[in-house]
Amino acid sequence: MSDKLKPRGRKVKILATLGPASDTPEMIEALMRAGADAFRINMSHGEQADKAKLVEHIRGLEEKLGRPTTILFDLQGPKLRVGAFEGGKADLEKGGTFILDRDKAKGDETRVCLPHPELFEAVEVGSLLLVDDGKMRLKVTEVSDDKIVTEVRVSGTIRDRKGVNVPDVLIPIPALTKKDRSDLQFALSQGADWIALSFVQRPEDVREARELVGKQAAILAKIEKPQAVDGLDEILKEADAVMVARGDLGVELPPEMVPPVQNKIVATARLHGKPVVVATQMLESMITSPTPTRAEVNDVADAIYDGADAVMLSAESAAGDYPIEAVKMMHRIGKAVEGDERYFDRVHFTETPPDPTTADALAESARGIARTVDAKAMVCYTSSGSTARRIARERPSVPTLVMTASQQVARRLGILWGVYAVRTRDVDSFEEMVGKAKRMALRHSIAKGGERIVLMAGVPFGVSGSTNVIHVVKLQGNELETHQRHFEL
C-alpha cells in the first residue's frame, strides 16, 4: 500500500483536536489515515513546548503522506471567574441573596470576590450571571462600583474559580489577553495556518488580532456569544472564517435556540463565501464509548446537510478513549450524507447569489457546466486561494483540485469544503497550467482517462484576481487533449 493519502471521497472536512490521547506521531498519522484533514491545537491547556512538538509531528508527516496539512491554533481568550471560598465551595439556596464584590477575602454563602472590574461597569439590574456553565443562575438586583447584589435563581453549590457567563451584556474587555498575545506570537513562530480567536463580541476584536497577525496566518472567529451572533455580518467582513462554538453558545442561549442560531451562522458564512466550522459535543459519547448515539449521528449529519465546510472533534480526539474510531465515524457520516441523492438539494436550499464580479459569475457558471458535461472535478490554479473559495461557495457536485505554488495557501485550504489542494511548481502560461492540470488530475486520482474536468483560470496568467476563463478538458489516458471550448470575458 502506498504511503500517500488519496482524496477522501467526501467534501466536508474533519478538524480533529490534539491532546493527551493523540499527541504522538503514530497517533497523528493514524488520525490522518482515518480521515482527519486538519488539526486543532488548544492553547487553553498545556505548555508551548508541548505544542511545538505537535507541530513538528504534523509537518513531519506532510511529505510522507503527500498531503498539505492544516494546523489551527485556538487561543484561550479571556476567562471570567469568581474567586475562592472558605472550604472551596458554598451552598446557595434559591431565592437567597448573593453578593459579588471586589474584596479579595475568601467567600462564603453570602458573598465572593469577582476579580473583573469590567463587569461592575457593564452589568445592569436584571442582567443574568451564569456560573459554572449555567449550573448556577444569579439575577442582578443592585449594582454599585464595588458590589453586584444578586438573587439566586437556581439552588446549588458554587465552587472555587468557576467561570462566569453574562449572556445579555457586551463586556468591555479585549478578546486578546496577555496570555493570548504570547500564545499568538508562539503560534505564528510555529507557522500556524489558522488562528482561532475566542470571546469575539465585535468586529473590532478581529481587527485587533489582524494588526498582530498581518498576513502570516488566517483568522477564524469563534461565534460563542449572543453579541457576536447579532453582529455576524460585520464580523464576517473582518474574519477569514467562523466557528459555531456551541459550548458557550449553549450556555449563553436557551438550548432550543442553539439549532436555529447554528443554521443562521452557517448560512450567513456561506453567503459571505467564508469557511464555517461546526464544533463542540458532536460525538461526545465517543469520549468513553466506541460508538456514538443516534442523536449525535443526526447532529453531525444536519451540519453537513446545511453545508458546513468542516465539523470538529474536541475531547473525542484529544482526550477520549476512541480517537481513531471517532474520526472514522465522522468520515463515514460525511460519506453517507453526501451519497444521499437529496444532499445537494439540501445544500443549495441556502442560496448564495454571486457577487457582481467576473470571477464570481464564472464560478457559478462552472458549477452548471460541470454538471452538464458530467465532469468529474473542478480544477483551478491559485496564488491566494480566492478562486478556490469562490468555487467552494457554489458547492459544486464534484471535488475541486486546487493547484498552488504556495505551501501556505495549500495548508490554509484544508478546512475549505470540497477542496483537494496540492502544491506544485509555479507555471508561466495558461497552456502550461492546462497541461499540469491534466497530469495532476490523473496523478491524484481526481479523474480518469476518458473523463472531463472543468478548469478556471485567469488571462493574462499570473495576475491575482483576474479569473476570467472556463476551460473544459477531456482526459484520454496518458494522451491528454483539450476537448472543448473557452469562455473568455
Catalytic (active-site) positions = 40, 81, 222, 280
In order of 306, 363, 370, 430, the CA distances from 378 in angstroms are 22, 10, 7, 16
In order of 43, 314, 332, 443, the CA distances from 12 in angstroms are 25, 17, 11, 22
Q: Is 339 exposed, middle or buried (0-12, 13-18, 19+ CB in 10 A)?
A: exposed
Q: What is the DSSP letter of 85?
A: B
* Coil/strand/helix, residue 266: helix
DSSP string, 21-36: TS-SHHHHHHHHHHT-
- 233 CB-near residues (< 8 Å, 6+ apart): 268, 272
Residue 452: strand pairing partners: 474
* Residue 53: how many other CB atoms lie within 10 Å: 12
Three-state helix/strand/coil letters over 298-341: HHHHHHHHCCCCEEEECHHHHCCCCHHHHHHHHHHHHHHHHCCC
* Farthest CA pair distance, the chain: 82
CB 318 within 8 A of CB 18: yes
* Residue 212: how many other CB atoms lie within 10 Å: 15
Q: How far apart are CA 239 and CA 197, in angstroms?
A: 10
Q: How far apart are CA 80 and CA 120, in angstroms?
A: 12
